[in-house]
Every structure is written in C-alpha cells, then in structure tokens.
Structure 1
C-alpha cells in the first residue's frame, strides 16, 4: 500500500499556503497541471490533523491509544446492510444516523493515518473504510436520493465528513469513487444553497456550507466551486441589525432568535479559520475588508463570555442539554468547559489568518484561560479532537507568550438580551428574553425543559471556586422552575413548551439597560412562558454586589409564583454550611425554613445574600435525581443525583403586585455579608414600582434607574421609558448613560437635579442641553440606536 507517512512528512499545518512536495500526478480532470488543488488538499490535511502530534508524550499517547481502540471497536461492529452500516445506526428514518456513520468512518480514517493508534497503515482497516464509504454511497448518500428528515445532515454534517474522508484517503480512492462522492455532494449541496443569504444559509450555517463547497472544489479539482465558496462568505462579514449574524454590539444570533456565541459561534470561528487558512496564498484568498469584523469579534463577541476556560451557558442555546449522549461509547462529558475549550481552539485556528499583533494577543488570552481552568484542564478534555488539542498544547508550551488575566468590566449585548459582569475574583452572566430574543431554544428533542432560561437567569462563577456549578450535571438535575435569578410561575409546562427553534418569544419590548463599561443598570419587562405572569425586574451591577429589584409581580395561573435568589449545585455530596442572620442552619437533606426580611444569608464556599425588601425568603436543601435523557432525546439514561441549596421568595398564589429587594455578593465572607446588611445607608432604593426601579450608592458615585414609563426617581426625571446610569467621578466630572431598550422613543427629555457646569462630550443623538442648577438633556430619535447607550460626560457645578 501507499506509504502514508512519507507523504505526511511534506505537510505544513501552520501556513495555510503550504505545498505538498512530491505530490502524485493529478488524476484526469481532478486538478490543474500546476498542482494548486493538490497543494490545497495538503493544507486541509494539515489543518485537519493539527500538525505533528507528539505521539509518545501525554496526553497524546493516551488519546491516540483511545482513538485506536474506539476505531477498532467500530470496525469490528460494522455490518453493512440495507438501511445501515452499523446495527445501532439505522438511517432508514433518521438521517442523523447516516451522518453519524460518516463521522465514525472519519474517526477510523484518522486512526488509519495517525501513528500511535495501533492502526496506522493497517490494510484491513483501509479495506473496511473503502467498504463503508461505498456502502453509504450506494445505499443512501448518492445523486438522485430524495432527502428526508433534518436538512443539516444532508447539507452540512454528512458532506463535511465525506469530503474530509476524501482528503484523508485520497491516495486510496479511485477516480470513479471520487467522482461519485463529488456528484453526491453536488446533488445535496448545489450552488444554489448560497444563492441568497436567508433561511438555513446564514451565519455559522453559511460558513459550514462554504466549507463544503470549497473542499468539494479542492477534492474534485473544480476552481469555480472554490471561488463560489469564497464569494459566498461575503454576507457573513457585515454587522446585521436583525436575524442571524454578528451585531455591532458584539451579539451573535443564530436561528433568528437565539444567542449562540458559545456553540454556533465556535463553529463560525473555526470554520472561518479553516477557510482562511485553506485559501491563503491562492488565487482565492479572502481579501474582503469585511473579514476584519470577524477578527474584531474575538474580543468584542467571544472573550466576554469566556471565563477560566468555560463559555457561559447563556449563549449556548440547546447545547446545554448535551451533557452525555447515548451514542457516545466513551461517555465524554459535554459541558460549559468543553464548549469553552472548543472556542479557545477555534480562536487559535482563526489566529493563523490574523495580523501578527492580533495573533500574539489572542494566544496570550488563550494561554491565560487555559492556565486558570482548574476545574477542567483543557489538555485533559477527551471531547476535543486531536488537532485542537495539538493547537492548545502548542500555545500552552510557548514560552514567548505571557498569559493575560481575565478582563474587568461590564458588557451589555442589547441585540441578544445578554450581559456579562466581570470583577476581580468573579464573573456573572444575565439571560433575558424579549420579542427579539427567545425564552430558550428547543428542537430535535433537545433542551426540553429550558423554559425559564430567559426569565432573568443570573449565573455566576468565582475565580477559584464554583467553576463546576453548571458543569456538574446541573441541567438534568436542577429544578427547572428554580433557575437562579428567575421569577417564574410554578404552572406545570410540557416538555418543549412554546415551540421549537426559538418560537417562545414574549410580547415584551423593554429589555436591556445602560452601562458605563464598569457598572450597569439592566431591566426586563418579564412575561412568563405559557403563563399570565408579568413582572418588572432590575439588576444593578456594582463592584462587589449585584442589587436585584422586582416589582409589579402579577399572575392569575392559580399557582405559586417564586423569585429565586440563588440555587447552588453542591455536587454529589456537598454539605456547605448555610448561615442566616448569624445562625448556622441544619445541613440535613430535606431541611426547609422561612426567614423574615430584612435579613441576610451566607453559603460557605460561595458568597452572601442581603435581603432588604418586602416579604420573607425561604431556604431548602434537597437531593435531586435526573437523567440527561429527560431533557434530550438522545441523552444518557444513567440516573444522576446532585445536592442543591435554594434560596427564594414565595410570592404566593396569584400575586397582585409583589416585589423584592436583595443583593448577591459573590465570594463574600459571612462577616462581610453581615456588615453589608448592617450598613443600611450604603444602598438607597430610590424606587421599586411599575413606574421605575432605581438605586443609589453614594460611596460609588452611582445612581441607576430603569424607568418603565415617564416619571421620577431620586434626582432623575425622565419624560419616557428609558434606562439611566450615572457615575460621579472624584475628578469633578460625571458620566450619564441613557438608553431606550424598547427602541420606541422618537424623543426623550431627561432631568438630573444636580448642578452641572458644562457638557464636555455628547452623542449625536443629543439635540439640546441646559446646564446650571440642574441638567436638562434632550435626545432625538432613539429608535435606530438598537438599545445602545447614549453617553454624556459633564463637569459638575
């Protein structure tokens, strides 16, 4: 057989424009005489394999052995028959099983090429691979076959794997086999799939389709296909104002209504990285200046959601339900850390086509995230392909790169109803929903109980603790009616309630807020999913706390309504001490109690909570058992049990105007929590009603108000619904940030009853200003600002 390794010696995985030296003569009709397509095929092979993997060093030695064992098992189980290649992957009614069959073959082909698997160059495996490819082609994936089921399997999943196989096994395939496989791809993925930027041909899906077209051109020697793929990337680059794609504020949306930075976003980054590298140095190199938007997005769109190596679940859509899959014989955990590691690897891949300064900074960021991921070490991540593992290992070992720390600051993503708050020692993420963004996404039988994710879910992590909070079987075991931070009706919902693919969007427009880049005032007009529940919720993100306000909580479902202060996953056996008002509470499972407000609570190992509003709050310790299969149709059926400590307000059945006020203090000690509760003058609640919600913290120079309608709160008066954040600085200046989250104001007047000497800087939207004993600002049309803050800097009088 052909000497695979002597060919691989000529490959360069890093350059994108590498040549395959000593390449075999081109097949008739497969490549031009100059060997361009052969060279590009060599580049793709290097990208797919990730360069030279040190087979004798860990973790690669073990991973390669596992790859060999997995492939050997699949090889022995392969039994071609009508409607299946493997008995457990019958594709007669479900094309996903056909796609998974191609995935298995691709894994086996990788084992055939890589030394250290025990199968490198094995002639029997070669024969079985060709048998499998021919069987799938004759039985299901060929020109003339009528498509059924999920479109993705036919147009992205299966053809990507098939074309990868064509590259991996190119020397072993006959010209007729290659022609037949290319004809199958042309049948299911015609040029017309990128004819318009709409439907399933947008965002990350468009990048995936371009990958198919480009590699089809390389494998089949069709330069027109490669040019089409390059040109079809063009609509991916510009910022969008609705639907799928990247927004100017850093939001990334897929499926029209779903924040998807964490999963589809990783696909987009990795896909662009592969294509940029494949086309680099060729006649089809991407030169569109819009491509810089994708490079800028690394820090504008992705970095804010990465923390200690994980990517926050609020931007991963239905993927949060994919913890363990029955189709995965290795039972590899898919969680926020695994998804984060995939994003890190995608950033390194994209860096190959970036400027030297961008490449250096991104490698430093990745090295920092890797170093801080104490909970799930990236190089021990069995879910990562070996190529990604190799890129991460190379970055980690690069002594010329100094790891960068986590950033500090606040980012509001108004176009996808998400926000991140990052302080020294902790980070938080807020998930909301509106007529623009879905409560949650379900589809293909996945994420069946994520109903209340967009009802104000407030997630948070410490720098050195709590990083497994949502990784450790959280989604299958948590009470889905008690997601942390949410206000929900306990009305029983059916699995998948609200409809698939982001159909569950509330009729609410005022969702968003303002930030000066460090602190923030955010609000949500909440309307419950499948419920009569309505409420006004506000969050004020400060230096060591998040102040949470609720007002106008109303419901007529005939069920109890609750606001969840927090719901901490304590793991399989956690007994973290809970102290309430200085008294340590029982640690026994089943403990439950009610406490008066004002009051405070502290959970050892996590932080503190200060309750200062109306109503009592409750606490509960419980062990909850669930299965991934209960929230995902292909999830593992293994029962999992985790312990939880929940704190919540019980607003009673059918509340008619309930409210709450509390602070959440990540990482605070019991003494710090008690001191904050005793410092009654530290925080002033300016308003907490259906007209406005606002707070003031004089020691921070902070005033924040969310006006649900025209009104006043403390020193601020607004002529219409808006969000206002004011920061007074020690240098005698102040910054006012004003936004129209509902995107409905054609004009707005704001009064600040504070002496102001002069306006130092202003946005274009400011059409009038009056200074003196008080400040009067007049804004013009804000409907086109997409909820973005309008910042005014003044000198105080």
Structure 2
C-alpha cells in the first residue's frame, strides 16, 4: 500500500483546510456553504432526476414508510414523551433514538418525489420536536452526558446536524436561532475534545470516530456560515488519510490504516470490518458533500481510499461475505457479512466518481454479488450502482488475483485465498488485543484471537455456516483452531452485575470508559511478541506463541483489585503454512497450565438440522475410523445438501474426538441486546485433548478444503513432511511445490532441512530453477534476520531493498534489514 504521511496529507488539503491549519482562528476563504448543504441534501435525500429512476423507488418507499411510522408514534406520545414508548430522561440510547426519529421525518420532507416532500407541517413538527428535546433533555449539560460517551459526542450530533442541514431553509425563515443553539450544545457535549472542538491528542477522536465528528462539524459550519469551523473540520478529517507509522505516531494515535492494509481502532483491535467500514463510508460521503464546495487540491486523497479498498477490504471479502476476523465485538450482531459488504459496495460505487481511473472499481462492483441497494444510504448511490450493473461495457473483475496470501501483520491477521476457498486467521500479541468485548456485546470472546480460523468454501451461503449463529451454536472454548484450557468462565455481566467492572475509587479508576477498562476488560492485549509471518507470492507462513492476556498478568502482579476476575490461558506454540490445496497446522508445547487439561479444536462447523451431513474417516492402519476408536489418519466432513466438504489429514498420530451434536441456544448468549431468537444447529467438532498430566504434546494436521476421500487417502504418500515441531522450530516441506517453510521462535541459529535460520524469524523458500527466499521478523523487534541456504552457492538475481546476499562457507547467506519494517516480508531471488 502506498505510504502517505501526515506532511503529505497537509499538502493535499483544499485551500480552506490549509488555511485553518495555519491560522485556525482566522476565517478561511473559498467555502461555498450553500453548495455544501445542497450536496448533503442530495447525498441523503437524492435529487428530482435521480429519484425519478425506477431503481430508487424502493428506497423512497422505505424513507416514506419510516417517516409515517415516526409521525404516528408522535401522535401517540403520552405526557412527557415525544414518541410513544420512548421514555426519556435516564436512557441515552432512547434520547439518541428520539433525535434519529426526527431526522427520519425530516429526510422524508426533503426527498423529491415523495409524498411528504416539502410538507411544511411535518417540518414544523420536527422543528418543534428539536425545541422540545433541547428544552427538556438536552440543553442542560449538567443533566446530560449519562451512559455512553459515543451517543453524546457522535450519535446525537450526527442526527441533529443532518436534520438541521435538511431543514436549513425553513429554519432560516422560522427559527434562525435554533442551529446556533444546538451547535453550542453539541460543542459543550464534545467533552473528550478541547474547548468544544476536536482534540487530535484525545484517544476518543481517532479513526472512524474522528471522521464522524468532523463530518458533523462540516455541516455545522455550513449552517452558520462559519468558514473556520468548516476548514478545521476538513483538516482534522484529513488526518485519517495518513498511513499510520508505528515508529512515528502522530498524536500517539495507533488507529487507522497501515502500510500492509491493516486497520486498527480502539488502539489495538483489528477492525476493518466495522469501524474501518464506517470510516470508509464517512470519508466517501465527505468527498461527495465537499464536491465543488471548496477549492481544489485534494485530488489524490481518493487515490488513498482506493488503496484502502484494494489492499484492505478486498482481501477480506469472499464471494460477497466480509470475514469475521476484523469485526471486533460486532461479530455478535445479527447483521450478516453480506450486509456488511453492501455498505462497502455503496462506498466503492461513490468512490468511483472521484478517482482518476474508475474502471477497476466499477469492475469490482460488478464482480461482487448483487447487493440489496434499497439498503444503501443514498439514492444517488443506488442510481450509480444500477448504472454500473447494467453497463455491458464493464466486465466483472475481482480486485484480488485468483490466488492471494495477505499478511496483515500490523493487526495480527492473515488471509489466504484460492478459487475454491478462503482461509482467515486471527492472532494476538503484545501489540494487538486478544478480543473485544464492550457494552454487552460479544459476551464470550476469550479465545477469538488465539489462532481462531475460519475456512470459507466457494458456493456456500456463509450465513448458514458463520456469522452470529456460529458464535451462538459453537462453544466459545471450541472455536476452530483454538487451544483452550478446560474450565468454565463467566461473562462480564455475570461477574459484576453490569456491562463493565466498576471501581472508581481504585488508583486505576475503573469506570465504563476509562483507559483501565479498555486495557483490562474491553480489549486486553496478549503478552507474546511473536505473532506474524512471511509471504512468498501466493503462499504464506504465520506463527504465534500463545500467552496470557494483560488482565491476568496484571492481576498476578498485584496491580488489579481483589474482586477483579482474570483468567489464566493455556499455552501453545503454533504455525500455519498456507499452500495451494491445504493449510498445514503445527502446534507444540501444548499445556492447560496450572494443573488443567486443555483441548485443541481442529475444526467446528455448523449446519442446519435438516442438512445431510456425513463424517467419514480412516485409521492409521486402514479400515474405517470410528468415534472413540483408533487415531484417524484422515477425517472428512461433508454436507451433501450444500455440496461442500472439508478434509483433515493428520500428520501425527493422536486420538481425535469428532462428532455431531444438535445445539439450540438463543442469540442473546453472545449479545445481550440481540433478539431472543433460538438458533438450532448441528455442530460438528473435531478436537484433540491434552491431559493435565503427562508429556507436553505436539500435533500436526492439514486442513483440506473441498477434499474427496481419495485425495485424503493420498496424503499417506506425501507430499507433506513435518521437518520440526517443538517450541523452538516448526517447519514443513511440500515436495511437489518445492517449498520449505519454517517459523523459528527461539533466539540463535536453528536448523530446518537445508536451512539455518537465525531466529526468531519466519522463512519460506521455494526451490527450483530459481530459488526464492522470503524472510520476516514476526516479533517486530529485530534489526535484521538471516537464513543460510546450505549447498552450492547461488548468485543473486533480484532482491528487495534492504536484502543482501553473499556466499559463505557451506552455502549462501541471505540477510534482510528488518528494523522498523513492522513484520514486512523481504524476498530475494537466487540462481
């Protein structure tokens, strides 16, 4: 991904933004406020020309239907209510909803072609509602700001700012004071800012949150003709375009996009699929709102967003499904990966209007499965999307090559893609959180960053095998790929009787949104440095040393209060080698710790109870495998109803517990606010037990997507060989591909086949007429890594910058300067 720095961002800003940076107190010239507001109305309500198109009819009907429901709720409101059933005064969510309902009515009154368009009565009801809410529940800041900060600084302000923009003409004529009154209150509620404005040093004003706040302030400035506010908002929002350099953090912010396509929010959570998606949407909306309203100079910023899409989002979308590994607590929500992708499709559709060469984006829009455009935010987007889909001159084309392996090492994620499947891996480290829990969402997340993986099969309806129902039906201790201790844990609400741990009197000041809450409850870091890997073309190697989280470590050190509950983790050293037909998994040094047993889950998959599911296998000495019998050489899980199958080829001999179980649970077990909907699934689980006593075990197996039984039988004859599998080195060889791959976890030189690797490091070598070597530092702490290839000396054909190759006694030494590379892979081609 091209690197854009803070300095370059400032150089790309419109003139108004530059002036605000140079002198924020001065009024900035060049802002057409009327155009900005008109653009905003067009974005959310459409235009007469666009709204006349048949493709937009469904969206217009939905806008009108919602507005009529809200007006009916106003008609039925009891004393002290603005909307029937929405009791106000103590619940910040309901107050936010009240402002949302007013916005939805206002939207219908500005939607050209709708029955409520320019309805003066409805608009006055909205204005009266704004006055009523301000007088009773919002205007007194001493009584407000209860509950979640996000509602007060972002949620309410978003609905209010948009409502004021939609009704700007009528407000100027009938209540010219109301916009200024509300803006003053919104500034007062911006308590994590500075003097009622954005504070780029605030941990709350980063990434998607910053984009939301600044988009609101753009509208507020346009409403009041405040050039300086608009200019400051532009310059503040522009900082989200800068690629995060972990070695030169600006304002201490780690939230944003990284060179390798990673996106982080909340300091340390892999979040492309939720906050990253929101940021993408918001910046594209801002580009639409500002079009023609400010001076030039921002032409290259859409190109930066294009790279977000190509390198950040596209690898994470498989056949229209946005993967689970980058959603934080949002994995527990009932929305689907297809709906998540539809939001991205809308943003990409609009982005094509701004980039210099839009064809690749339009091809990608055409390539993805058809989205439900009625769910788009903007009628303009619906019309543009329909035009792209209908244009026979635009061929469908993925932004991903057919074979791709992407190491998102900055957020401890790996995605491996082939035409028939995609494999997604979630890791954690001292840099990246083990999981995210917050606000009663993702109640049982404990092992989601401990090497949990997801195998997506081509042609599958992913709603049937993943999404919220996967987390509902599958035990949190049996997520695919996880090694977990044998114990029962309790959720945060079960432990403390609320959605967070409360202890404001403790020196760490535990309150709902305190830093200590984030560090030890919401998204704790792991304790290991080794998490990452290398890629060589479309092949990959990743490794991780499993550790305790920050909460358990702090509790053992006596830092946390006595009543704070922290859980000890199991131990494991793990590697994943991602090839063409299989993903090889090695695990060693496996222990439940503290006298506990542990279990490694090879896979967990769900199916509808009516699906024809079969489990077959073969023992190491031939004959059909039976549950509870001899160790299997291979197993095969097949869903004949859906035409899918996954094979498991075991490369070490150990008992495997595998079978099907019908499970019924409510979706509320994973998220308190989910509907109490019962989910019944047949759950397939294959797992390997590690007793509390006895030798520390090691295991090796291959996941084989779309495997037949004949293909699984073939693994007895190769091509896979486990070269090493302990806590120091894990390495494999694939004879057909000519690949040797190794993760070296210990310091110092370690052997793997014909390699001598100076660890810690991750290495992939592909032998052939030309030998290609890939190196990386998964700890992100080393100045250089090196590997010695034994045998006849080889000459350098080509190499990445920072790689040196020289002949030494016994072979060829390849060294890569990994200082400040943040896990990046370095390659050299030899002949």
TM-score (norm 2): 0.83
- State the partner residue of 2:68: 72
Q: Is 1:540–2:533 an aligned residue pair?
A: no
The alpha-carbon deviation at position 276 of structure 1 amounts to: 1.9
1:399 alignment partner, one of 392, 404, 410:
392
Query: In structure 2, what is the equivalent of residue 512 of structure 1?
Result: 532
Which of residues 132, 146, 159 is equivalent to 1:148? 146
> 1:397 & 1:292 partners in 2: Cα distance?
25
1:688 pairs, out of 716, 725, 734, with 725
TM-superposed CA distance for 1:600, in Å, is: 3.1
Q: How far apart, in 2, do the equivalents of 1:552 and 1:82 lie?
A: 66
Residues 240 and 725 of structure 1, relative CA distance in 2, 3 Å threshold: same
> CA–CA distance in 1 between the matches of 2:600 and 2:202?
39
Return the offset for 1:422: 0.8
What is the deviation of 1:473? 2.1
Could you tell me how far 1:363 is from its partner in structure 2?
1.5
Distance 1:48 1:750 in 2: 57
Aligned length: 739
* Residue in 2 that maps onto 1:92: 89
Taking only aligned residues, the RMSD between alpha carbons, in angstroms, comes to 3.0
Kindly provide the CA deviation profile for residues 647-667 of structure 1, in whole angstroms up to 9, marking residues without a partner as x.
111223366522211111112
Q: 2:448 & 2:741 partners in 1: Cα distance?
A: 25
Select 1:322's aligned residue among 328, 333, 337: 333
Q: Equivalents in 2 of 1:453, 1:34: separation in Å? A: 49
State the match for 1:453 in structure 2.
448
Cα distance per residue 1:495-554 (max 9 Å; x no partner):
149965753211100000110130011111112552241111111000111011111101
Q: Is the 8 A contact 2:329 2:436 kept in 1?
A: yes
Distance change >3 Å, CA 297–CA 138, structure 1 → 2: same
Aligned position for 2:200:
196
CA distance in 2 between counterparts of 1:651 and 1:625 reads: 28
Q: Do residues 759 (structure 1) and 796 (structure 2) align?
A: yes
CA contact (8 A) 2:479 2:601 kept: yes
**Mapped contact 2:545–2:572 kept (Cα < 8 A):** yes
Corresponding residue of 1:794: 830
Q: Which of 99, 103, 107 is 2:100 aligned to?
A: 103
> What do residues 465-490 of structure 1 show as CA deviations (whole Å, max 9, x unaligned)?
25222136222222111111111113
Unmatched 5+ stretches in structure 1: 1-16, 18-30, 324-333, 372-377
Larger relative contact order (CA 8 Å, sep ≥ 6): 2
2:224 paired residue number: 220
The 3 A distance-change label for structure 1 pair 491 and 381 is: farther
Alpha carbons 2:805, 2:812 under 8 Å: kept? no
8 Å contact from structure 1 (residues 477, 641) kept in 2 = yes
Alpha-carbon separation, structure 2, partners of 1:466 and 1:34: 50
Unaligned runs of 5+ in 2: 1-13, 15-26, 247-253, 496-500, 502-516, 550-566
Change (3 A) 1:486 1:232: same
**Contact 2:221–2:230 (Cα < 8 Å) also in 1:** yes
Q: 1:177 to 1:779 in 2, by over 3 A?
A: closer
Q: 1:556 to 1:34 in 2, by over 3 A?
A: closer
CA distance in 2, matches of 1:303, 1:506: 28
CA-CA distance at 1:416 after TM superposition: 0.3
Contact kept in structure 1, 2:630 and 2:655, CA below 8 Å: yes
The answer to whether the 8 Å contact 2:315/2:406 transfers is: yes
Q: Does the residue aligned with 2:680 lie in a helix, a strand or coil?
A: strand
| 1:47 equivalenced with 2:43 (yes/no) | yes
Structure 1 partner of 2:423: 428
Tell me, in whole angstroms, the C-alpha distance in 1 between the residues paired with 2:431 and 2:261.
16
Matched, 1:479 2:483: no
Aligned to 1:561: 598
Deviation at 1:82?
Answer: 8.2
Q: Does 1:633 align with 2:672?
A: yes
Does residue 600 of structure 2 align to residue 607 of structure 1?
no
Shift of 1:754: 3.4
3-state SS in 1 of match to 2:662: strand
* Equivalent residue runs for 1:521-536 within 5 Å: 521-528=541-548, 530-536=567-573
Deviation string 1:134-156 (CA, Å, 9 cap, x unpaired) is 22222223374542322211221
Q: 2:136 aligns with which of 116, 119, 139?
A: 139
Question: Is 2:136 the counterpart of 1:130?
Answer: no
Partner Cα separation in structure 1 for residue 479 and residue 323 of structure 2 = 15
Alignment correspondent of 1:647: 686
Aligned twin of 2:556: none
Select between 768-777 and 602-611 the one with higher mean Cα deviation: 768-777
**Structure 2 counterparts to residues 156-555 of structure 1, below 5 A:** 156-173=154-171, 174-189=175-190, 193-242=197-246, 243-285=254-296, 287=298, 292-323=303-334, 334-355=335-356, 357=357, 359-371=358-370, 378-379=371-372, 382=375, 388-405=381-398, 406-407=400-401, 408-468=403-463, 469-471=465-467, 473-496=469-492, 500=518, 502-528=522-548, 530-555=567-592
1:674 pairs with one of 713, 723, 748: 713
TM-score between the two structures when normalised by the length of structure 1: 0.86
Closer, same or farther: CA 742–82 of 1 in aligned 2, 3 Å: farther
Q: Name the CA distance, whole Å, in 2 between partners of 1:293 and 1:202.
A: 18
Show CA shifts across 1:286-338 (max 9, x none): 53866643332221111111121221111111111111xxxxxxxxxx12111
Provide the rounded CA distance (Å) in 1 between the counterparts of 2:372 and 2:271: 25
